[in-house]
Structure 1
Amino acid sequence: MSNIAPHLPLRTERHALEAAAAAAVRIAQLANDPAHNEQLPSRQAQWLSDYGLTAIGVPAALGGLGASILTQVEVVRIISAADGGVGQLLQIHYVMLRGILEDYSKTARQRIVSDVLAGKRLANALAEVGGKNKFALKTRVERRADGQLVLNGSKFYSTGAYLADWIWLAAASEQGGAGIWLHRDTPGLTLVDDWRAFGQQHSVSGTVRFEDIILDADYVLLREGPMKRTGLTFPQILHAAIDTGIAAGALQAGVEYLRQHARPWVESGVDRASEEPHVIRQIGEFALALRAAESLLREAARLFDQHLQDEHDTALQSELILAVATVRAHSDSASLKISSEMFSLLGASSALSKWNLDRFWRNARVHTTHDPIRWRLHHVGNYYLNGVDPGEYTAILAKGEQGRDRGQ
């Protein structure tokens, strides 16, 4: 693994995993130091590019590796074990790359894919604050009298945008929803470093503002027809990879602390904390929770790759949605459980800021608020109890919008 050097093109999926492991070592060295908690992850983001990880999703026909979903999921998991926030930078990059490959003009696709192959990074600006929900968009595209499209508005939770080269956003228009790509140097675009959260600081999910931006029609896509039923399955499985990675990082850090720094309890009668039977049992429980999440993650990823061979198979769509919902629930639970409860084994000194062990819980607690697990459980339960086909919320919301349009 150590012989993978930055800037080398990755030509096999094994090399991609080795490169991820090598990059993770460097990222973890910074993450271990609490002095880096509040700093922009500029170096970490650049390492994702330098190690070739940002380009693995580009199809082989376009000059990339064409990595499987399983490999992309594994890469996000490996990086997230080092730093969940940096893992989220990679997660949103992969999601946005998949979007440009599926839609948009040839001009936009060639330009952005070429930049990705050169190490450039992608991000998004989707959610807004202050509305009924995050999809109640105030950001709008208007067509002026001269025919030009002009964009105005503001976004928050713009994951990775501050450090990205290309930013995708959703806006409203008279013709419905619009998906827009903007280069970071676009006149009228302002990126603000104002993400201040107690966890996932390195996801840099702050504000993006758009002021009288004249759009290039090649980089604008007006939504036509319903959203894909499985449209959110890819970002969802990558979110599960982030949480699974955080759980793995927390367990590894806890084990290292137990071996090197923790003292046994006075009643234990053993010389080392790692020999305490209660500690051993609890670490076993943590390991089982992690192994379950990892197994479910890989199984869902393999199912995703199978789904891509026949995306119109509705039974396979349902199975994929259920599998991803399952791993989301398990990874959510594992990340929170391990990152929080491990302190009961490590002793009071483990709470000292110099160890920075709380970063795993902070990252898990913030990231798991992203998409409520209660609704993933609802879809699974509704399927088993009432036979209701499971879906992702974008498709469900779109179906509701269509019903209202027809007066239903």
Structure 2
Amino acid sequence: MSEPTGTRHATDRGGDDPAAIAGALAGRLAEGAGDRDAERRLPYAEVAGIAADGLLGISVPTAHGGPGAGPATVAEVLRLIGTADLSIAQVLQPHFAFLNALRLRGGPAARQRLYSDVLKGTLVANAQAERGGAHSHDQQARLERAASGGWTLTGTKFYATGSLFAGWLAVTAKADVPGEAEPQTHIAFVPREAPGLHVEDDWNGMGQRTTGSGTVRLDRVEVADELVLPHYLTFREPTTYGAYAQLLHSAIDVGLARGALTEAARFVRTTSRPWSESGATEASADPLTVQRFGELEVQVRAAEALLSTAAGRVADADAGPTDASTAEASISVAAAKVAGGAAAVDVAGALFEVAGTRSAGEDLNLHRFWRDARTHTLHDPARWKVQHIGRYSLNGQRPPRHGQI
């Protein structure tokens, strides 16, 4: 993605904070979201606009010239954008998650190079999931030492969110480590245009149609030594890496739930007709419809509250990472993820229940909310979140350290 002109920090706009900028942006993104999805029109211009608004650099630490926005601010930005277009919000999730990995494990040279590009408006995408192994994170991609002192990277990645829009790809791969019995997971930051790196526009999911999640093929791609991070060390000590990444996923779900409920209310007020037995002259006065909206509003507000609490726990743990504080952060995020995912799927489905037959018209494309929610919530199963919460609640057992908590 080329550098947008006039890129500024989100905090440089006359006192506007990132959430205010994201809120205004969400209003513009909502206008074309249905058409982009229906036509699978990839949002190159929209992503460039986000970069030009300075939102890509909000989490860059102040020591590197950025605003240093914390978890709550970043989550709120993704939540707000998620109310309008889950696909675009999802493009941003790995960007911020891997910038956090860079903060935790990157050396001075890697931080300087990546942060500088991000502040200029460059997007970082992920390339981590694979097929053919025991599970999607069973890494077959390999990093091998090169004679030059750097590395060569070979492998194939799928569902590489945002890879079609990115200037950098964060690629996970295994590498031999002296003293370790097995190869260990590293992150290699690779320029999008690096020789031997190819991105295919082949995502065909029923939802999240415009995330630019292509297949990434890497054929002996050369990577500088300073751009390879020992990611495995992140999980050998208490950090907020997994909680932070999952917090952002939760924010996207919660945002979609609010967006779907807002759209349902608009449709009922402007288009739906009341049920014949209701005695109401307008659909918005049908008592059973009002009741259902009340139930859905409670569900969405509960998810929003859990998200806010989780963001606070992640910030607290990041300020003082201990086994206890990071476990509490992970459990709080897990609760938000369970509630947010359920709210997204439930409200997106209930949209048709409250809006009536007219809402099912293909030309309206209101089913994009449900397709997006159902697809995004497949990212990692909520049932395992509930398991970890139950073990923690009943037996005080802390959750494992990995990126899926």
Provide TM-score, normalisation by structure 1.
Answer: 0.91
Is 1:65–2:75 an aligned residue pair?
A: no
Spell out, residue by residue over 1:342-373, the C-alpha distance to the aligned partner (whole angstroms, 9 max, x if none): 21111111111221211110000000000111
Distance 1:100 1:68 in 2: 15
User: 1:11 & 1:395 partners in 2: Cα distance?
Assistant: 31
CA contact (8 A) 2:313 2:329 kept: yes
Partner residue of 1:387 out of 377, 389, 396: 396
Cα distance in 2 for partners of 1:358, 1:395 equals: 28
Please give the alpha-carbon distance, in whole angstroms, between the structure 2 residues aligned to 1:345 and 1:6.
Answer: 44
Give the match for residue 272 of structure 2: 262
For residue 40 of structure 1, what is the amino acid of its counterpart?
Answer: L
The answer as to whether partners of 2:246 and 2:403 remain within 8 angstroms in 1 is no
C-alpha separation between the residues in 1 aligned to 2:54 and 2:65? 13
Distance 1:102 1:392, change over 3 A: closer
**2:181 matched to which residue of 1?**
none
Deviates more, 1:55-64 or 1:183-192: 55-64
Equivalent in the alignment of 1:405: none
Deviant stretches of 4+, over 6 Å: none
The TM-score, its normalising length taken from structure 2, stands at 0.92
Structure 2 residue 181 is the aligned partner of structure 1 residue 179: no
Paired with 2:101 and 2:278, the residues of 1 have a C-alpha distance of 56
- Structure 1 vs Structure 2 CA RMSD: 2.0
CA 300–6 in structure 1, closer or farther in 2 if over 3 Å, else same: farther
Show the 5 A alignment for 1:206-225. Answer: 206-223=214-231, 225=233
| 1:109 aligned to which of 99, 108, 111 | 111
Change (3 A) 1:35 1:216: closer
Name 2:282's counterpart in structure 1.
272
Rate the CA distance shift 1:299–1:371 in 2: closer, same or farther, 3 A: same
Q: Which residue of 1 aligns with 2:159?
A: 157
Partner of 1:406: none
Q: Does 1:374 align with 2:383?
A: yes
Matched-pair contact (CA < 8 Å) for 2:38–2:365: no
Measured in 2, the distance between the counterparts of 1:385 and 1:327 equals 19
Q: Tell me how far apart the structure 1 counterparts of residues 404 and 342 of structure 2 sit (CA, whole Å).
A: 26
Conservation of the 8 A alpha-carbon contact between 2:186 and 2:232: no
Q: Which position in structure 1 is the counterpart of 2:248?
A: 238
Partner of 1:338: 347
Deviations 1:367-394 (A, max 9, x none): 0000111111001111222332223445
What's the CA shift string for 1:261-314, capped at 9, x where partnerless? 0011111121110000000000011100000000110111112222222112x3
- State which of 346, 360, 371 in structure 2 corresponds to 1:351: 360
The answer for the alignment partner of 1:11 in structure 2 is 11
1:40 paired to 2:48: no
Q: How far apart, in 2, do the equivalents of 1:131 and 1:46 lie?
A: 35
SS in 1 for 2:79: helix
- Look up the match of 1:328: 337
Within 1, Cα distance between the matches of 2:370 and 2:404? 32
1:65-99 CA distance string (max 9 Å, x none): 11121111100000011001100111111111112
1-structure distance, mates of 2:69, 2:149:
41
Deviation of the 1:106 alpha carbon = 1.7
Equivalent residue, structure 2, for 1:127: 129
Partner letter of residue 381 of structure 1?
G
How many residues end up aligned between the 2 structures? 391
Shift of 1:174: 2.4
Partner residue in 2 for 1:400: none
Match 2:302 to one of 272, 292, 307:
292
CA distance in 1, matches of 2:171, 2:73: 26
Instruction: Quote the Cα distance in structure 1 between the aligned partners of 2:205 and 2:272.
Output: 30
Match for 2:311 among 301, 305, 328?
Answer: 301
Gaps of 5+ in 2: 178-183
Distance in 1, Cα, partners of 2:370 & 2:57: 30
